[in-house]
C-alpha cells in the first residue's frame, strides 16, 4: 500500500470506496460526541472530521488530489452543520455523493433521503457504512440567498448577507419562532441543550406568537417577484420558499398541489407557499390544514418596503433582515445518497 496524506491507498483501487465522515460532536444532545467515538473506533483517523477541531476544506483536499478514488461522504449533524459542510463539498472539482445522519431537530433532508427522522449515538457503524455503500445517488438543487440591505444617508442599515440553502428559506412567523429559539439556546449552557428542549422552545415561541402576531400584515410590507413577475399576496404572516418536499419536521406542504404543479428536487424550481399564522403552522403539523399555494419559480426576489424589518431563516439559521432586497437564485446540483429500500452486505472496502 502507498501512504498519501496519512490515508492508505490500496493497490487494487477499483475495489476501494472510502467513506469520509464529518461530525459535529455538539449535535444531537450528546449523540454527536458518541458517534465521533464510534466512527474513530472503526475508520482511519483521517477519514473522521470533527468540525469543531478540523478544517473541513483542508480535510477534503485529498479528494481532489486523487480523482480516481471513488469517495462517499457522511455528514452527521443538524441543518447548520450539513449546510456548511455541503458548501465545502460543492467547491470540489467533482461531485461527491453525500449521506446525512440526522442529529438536529427538524431533520427534513434526512427524511427525504430515507436516513430517518432522528439518530442516537449508539448505532451499528458497520451496518451504516454498508448502507452508505449501497445507497442510490440522487441530485438535489441548492440555492443562493443574497440579502442586500438598504442604504440610508449612504450607509447600509446592516451588512449584506450571502448564504446557501438546501431545504427552505422563509420570512415571517416561522422564522420569528426559529429566531426566538436560536436566541434562547445561545443563552442556555450547552449541557442543558437537548432535542426535547428545542421542541419545548418551538412550542413556547409558537404559542407566544399566537397572541402577539408580530408578523401580521406581512403581505403589506413586502413585494414578491417570481421569475420577475410581481405576485399579489393574500393576508399572510409567513412566506416559505421550499426546495425539498419536507418542512417543519416532517410536514409535506406541497403534497396538496403536487398533481397540478409537480415538485422535483433537481428541476431548478422552487416552490413558494404561505401561512396565515403560527396557529396555521400548528394545524399543518397535525394534518388539519393546508398551506396557501403561491407558485413555482426559477428565481425569486423579495423587496422589503419602507423601513420594515422581518425575521428570516434559512435551513435553521435565523436573523433579522432590515429593509432591502433578498434574491433567491439557483446555485448548483449536489449529489446526495438516498438509502436503498433493500440493503445488502458484502460491500467494497471503506476503511
140 forms bridges with which residues in the sheet?
Answer: 334
CATH code for position 289: 2.60.200.40
Question: Of the residues 134, 167, 197, which one is the last residue of a structural domain?
Answer: 134
pLDDT at res. 123: 85
303 and 227 part of one domain: yes
Same domain (yes/no): 119, 231: no
List average pLDDT for each run of 10 residues in the chain, which is 351 residues long: 48 75 86 90 91 91 89 92 94 95 86 88 88 96 92 69 95 83 55 45 42 75 97 96 92 89 95 93 89 96 86 89 91 96 50 49
Burial class (CB in 10 A: 0-12, 13-18, 19+), 65: exposed
Find the CATH number of the domain harbouring 66.
Answer: 3.40.50
> Going by C-beta distance under 8 Å and a sequence separation of 6 or more, which residues neighbour residue 184?
201, 205
Q: What are the tens digits of pLDDT across the range 117-161?
A: 888 777 899 999 999 999 999 999 999 999 988 776 666 667 889
Q: What's the confidence (pLDDT) of residue 32?
A: 87
Residues 170 and 125 in one domain: no
Name the residue among 95, 58, 51, 53 with its Cα closest to residue 73.
Answer: 95
| Same structural domain, 166 and 286 | yes
Is residue 192 exposed (0-12), middle (13-18) or buried (19+ Cβ within 10 Å)? exposed
Query: Per the structure block, which three cell numbers stand in for 200?
Result: 419545548
Helix axes 278-285, 195-212, angle to 10 degrees: 130
Asked if 186 and 230 sit in the same domain, the reply is yes
Q: How many domains does the chain have?
A: 2
| pLDDT score for 272 | 97
* 304 and 219 part of one domain: yes
Q: Same structural domain for residues 228 and 266? A: yes
43 is in which domain, residue-wise? 13-134
Amino acid at each position: 500500500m502507498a501512504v498519501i496524506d496519512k490515508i492508505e491507498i490500496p493497490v487494487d483501487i477499483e475495489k476501494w470506496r472510502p467513506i469520509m465522515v464529518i461530525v459535529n460532536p455538539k449535535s444531537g444532545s450528546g449523540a454527536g460526541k458518541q458517534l465521533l467515538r464510534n466512527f474513530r473506533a472503526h475508520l482511519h483517523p483521517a477519514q473522521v472530521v470533527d468540525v469543531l477541531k478540523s478544517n473541513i476544506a483542508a480535510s477534503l483536499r485529498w479528494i481532489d488530489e486523487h480523482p480516481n478514488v471513488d469517495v462517499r461522504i457522511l455528514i452527521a449533524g443538524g441543518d447548520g452543520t450539513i449546510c456548511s459542510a455541503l458548501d465545502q463539498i460543492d467547491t470540489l472539482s467533482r461531485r461527491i455523493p453525500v449521506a446525512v445522519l440526522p442529529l438536529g431537530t427538524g431533520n427534513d433532508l434526512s427524511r427525504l433521503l430515507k436516513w430517518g427522522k432522528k439518530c442516537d449515538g449508539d448505532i451499528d457503524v458497520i451496518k451504516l457504512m454498508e448502507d452508505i455503500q449501497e445507497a442510490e445517488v440522487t441530485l438535489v438543487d441548492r440555492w443562493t440567498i443574497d440579502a442586500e440591505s438598504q442604504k440610508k444617508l449612504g450607509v447600509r442599515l446592516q451588512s449584506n448577507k450571502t448564504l446557501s440553502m438546501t431545504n427552505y428559506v422563509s420570512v415571517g412567523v416561522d422564522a420569528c419562532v426559529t429566531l426566538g429559539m436560536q436566541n434562547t439556546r445561545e443563552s442556555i449552557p450547552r449541557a442543558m441543550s437537548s432535542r426535547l428542549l428545542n421542541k419545548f422552545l418551538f412550542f413556547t415561541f409558537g404559542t407566544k406568537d399566537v397572541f402577539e402576531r408580530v408578523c401580521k400584515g406581512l403581505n403589506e410590507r413586502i413585494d414578491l417577484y417570481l421569475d420577475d413577475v410581481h405576485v399579489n399576496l393574500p393576508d399572510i404572516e409567513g412566506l416559505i420558499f421550499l426546495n425539498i418536499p419536507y418542512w417543519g419536521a416532517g410536514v409535506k406542504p406541497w403534497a396538496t398541489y403536487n398533481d397540478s404543479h409537480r415538485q422535483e428536487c433537481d428541476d431548478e424550481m422552487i416552490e413558494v407557499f404561505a401561512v396565515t399564522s403560527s396557529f396555521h403552522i400548528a394545524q399543518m403539523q397535525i394534518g388539519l390544514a393546508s398551506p396557501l399555494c403561491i407558485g413555482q419559480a426559477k428565481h425569486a426576489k423579495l423587496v422589503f418596503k419602507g423601513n420594515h424589518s422581518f425575521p428570516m431563516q434559512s435551513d435553521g439559521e435565523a436573523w433579522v433582515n432590515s429593509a432591502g432586497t433578498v434574491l433567491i437564485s439557483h446555485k448548483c446540483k449536489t449529489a446526495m445518497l438516498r438509502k436503498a429500500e433493500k440493503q445488502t452486505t458484502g460491500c467494497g472496502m471503506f476503511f
